[in-house]
Structure 1
């Protein structure tokens, strides 16, 4: 299944380390980040799940629920969590890992990396990331190769941008972080600026066109 940004994210039922879930019911009115892993007891994956476990409070501040997927069983997931906690010096592990031993969900969501073959001769999942909003719409899609670990602080930054730009008529520039200046969207007319923003600064450019308008929100 090819998913485009703005598409309805498909619901699914899965067995996880917190029991069986219906994805839509589990998400409720929150956002979700779904991220896949090639296999349990693998080095890069261990660092990633540990990193997300440390960031659970940051995701919670943004009303985002993390959920991981790995192509192994719940039984091995639970054994692996002991290693993840030890590696990250974590007291707890507070989000679920999906059992996708048969790769059914990985196939459904187009998560497989055809260049990475596991011991059983089956393709492994790539490092996919899907961010789904409270309306169950796909808002972000990233595909990393199995050999490259993800930067979850960057994913938090993107979530900050999306949640801000949902509320305000702004766009966020390169390397933006929460609290910095934003760009007024090109669709905003000059006569609307005073009512929408406290201050707006036009950046002078050689073209003379005043399309680069900075503001704080």
Structure 2
């Protein structure tokens, strides 16, 4: 898949029963993140962090869903460990976990790690991250090797950036966070920029080119 492609409308067994992905997602954005196996230390820390930050995803109308190559029964046992690690005492679990025992989705989405294999010599599912927008388009993908953990804070930051740049004619600079100035896109003329962004800062550069135009939006 390329950025902007429609994300597959797969059917899968999950900890909340069988789902058809597009129907389950509805008009929300989606965070789809994958794991090589249940009861793994790094995986547990990541899933627990998503539990802790789940209200932040809800605030952004983003529905997380995880995938691991074990059974739903195994997932349900693993969830109890995740809840303890996340210090989550509420009933239930805030998001579903997909069972991909046959590696069907892992193959379809091209996220197998040939360097990391299970006890049977089968490649493990890499740590993939896909952000899907409310039109079911894949907007961002990150692929980690199975032995490197992710930053869930960074995933939230990228979601904020995607949503901001969908709404305004801006791009987000390095390390941008909500509330900071964004860059006005080069395709916006100076005349249009003055109308769209009344409060605008232009950075003086040795080249004389006025391409770094910043504004809070």
- Post-superposition offset of 1:146: 0.7
CA distance, structure 2, for counterparts of residue 214 and residue 206 of structure 1? 17
CA distance, structure 2, for counterparts of residue 181 and residue 190 of structure 1? 17
Asked if 1:20 corresponds to 2:18, the answer is yes
Q: TM-score, normalised by structure 1?
A: 0.97
Match of 2:169 in 1: 169
CA distance, structure 1, for counterparts of residue 160 and residue 78 of structure 2? 31
Asked if 1:6 corresponds to 2:4, the answer is yes
Match of 1:200 in 2: 200
Equivalent residue runs for 1:31-180 within 5 Å: 31-92=29-90, 93-180=93-180
| Counterpart contact for 1:198–1:216, Cα < 8 Å | no
Structure 1, unaligned runs of 5 or more = none
CA distance, structure 2, for counterparts of residue 71 and residue 165 of structure 1? 35
Structure 2, unaligned runs of 5 or more = none
CA distance, structure 1, for counterparts of residue 132 and residue 181 of structure 2? 26
Runs of 4+ in 1 over 6 A off after TM superposition: none
CA distance, structure 2, for counterparts of residue 205 and residue 151 of structure 1? 34
> CA RMSD of the aligned region, Å?
0.7
Q: TM-score, normalised by structure 2?
A: 0.97
CA distance, structure 2, for counterparts of residue 198 and residue 30 of structure 1? 32
| Aligned residue pairs, count | 215
Q: Deviations over 1:32-80 (max 9, x none)?
A: 0100001001100000100011111101111100000000000000000
- Post-superposition offset of 1:120: 2.1
- Post-superposition offset of 1:90: 1.0
SS at match of 2:205: coil
